[in-house]
Structure 1
Amino acid sequence: MFKQTKAFSSFSVNDLQQAKKFYHQTLGLDVVEEEYMLTLQMAGGGRILLYSKPNHTPATFTTLNFPVKNVEETVDELTKRGVKFLQYEGELKTDEKGIFRGGGPVIAWFTDPAGNILSVVEEQ
């Protein structure tokens, strides 16, 4: 039924202008602003819709993953741009840079200005 549908994901933010600055200037994505929403233009024609929600509550799970060739290099670059990586203990224990290397893909998590969890994950 949906095999040919160009599906897209969406999630809320509490401040569209902060989100626009972060996703465009910090992460380097093309961002299209429309009334009450932003569209992130992704490689391959994909898109992610961000919408303003006054009573926004950040997701407690990863909302967006960015596959990269080298997580450590990407973490270093994003850290220079002011991104702070999350630190986890236990099963998902991260190192001092916030990188998980404990089995499975190498991954590091960070948040957008609205508190939504994003990640950079090393391509296999």
Structure 2
Amino acid sequence: MLKELHTVLPAADLRRAQAFYHDALELDPAEAHEESRTLVYRTGAGGTFEIYETSNAGTARNTQMCWTTDDLDAEMSRLRERGVVFEDYDVPGLKTVNGVAATDEMKSAWFRDTEGNFICIFQML
């Protein structure tokens, strides 16, 4: 039986990624494993994700991790103040305005970390 979800993200430069997650998202690793070049993060809601160093970083062109928020606009403003740049899309089925895609059920926004990983934040309406 599947129990807990654990996201794994690649990084070409682990120290650069660690600095981004600290400076932009105010997250610090709960564990650092030098031998495997891996950082493990724990979030307030019990979720975890890790970042590991690999030359494959930045090759995915899809959303790799999503965060939920109760106030997308406030969260985007906070992240923009920390230098986060949100993606804009205008493709069939997805159009953003000022970085936000909206439906009747939710609002979503995407940004990339320093390693090219696509991160989504969304708010259910």
Q: TM-score normalised to the size of structure 1?
A: 0.87
Matched, 1:41 2:39: no
Equivalent residue for 1:28, pick from 5, 26, 29: 26
Paired residues of 1:93 and 1:102 also in contact (CA < 8 A): no
**Aligned residue in 2 for 1:82:** 83
Superposed CA RMSD? 1.7
Q: CA, structure 1 residues 37+76, in 2 after alignment: closer, same or farther (shift >3 Å)?
A: same
Unaligned runs of 5+ in 2: none
Query: What is the CA-CA distance between 1:14 and the residue it aligns to?
Result: 0.6
Cα distance between partner residues in 2 of 1:92 and 1:55: 27
Paired residues of 1:93 and 1:100 also in contact (CA < 8 A): yes
Q: TM-score normalised to the size of structure 2?
A: 0.86
Query: What is the CA-CA distance between 1:116 and the residue it aligns to?
Result: 0.5
**Aligned residue in 1 for 2:114:** 113
Cα distance between partner residues in 1 of 2:79 and 2:100: 13
Paired residues of 2:18 and 2:28 also in contact (CA < 8 A): no
Cα distance between partner residues in 1 of 2:4 and 2:51: 17
Counterpart code for 1:58: T
Counterpart code for 1:109: W
**Aligned residue in 2 for 1:94:** 96
Identify the structure with the greater helix proportion.
1
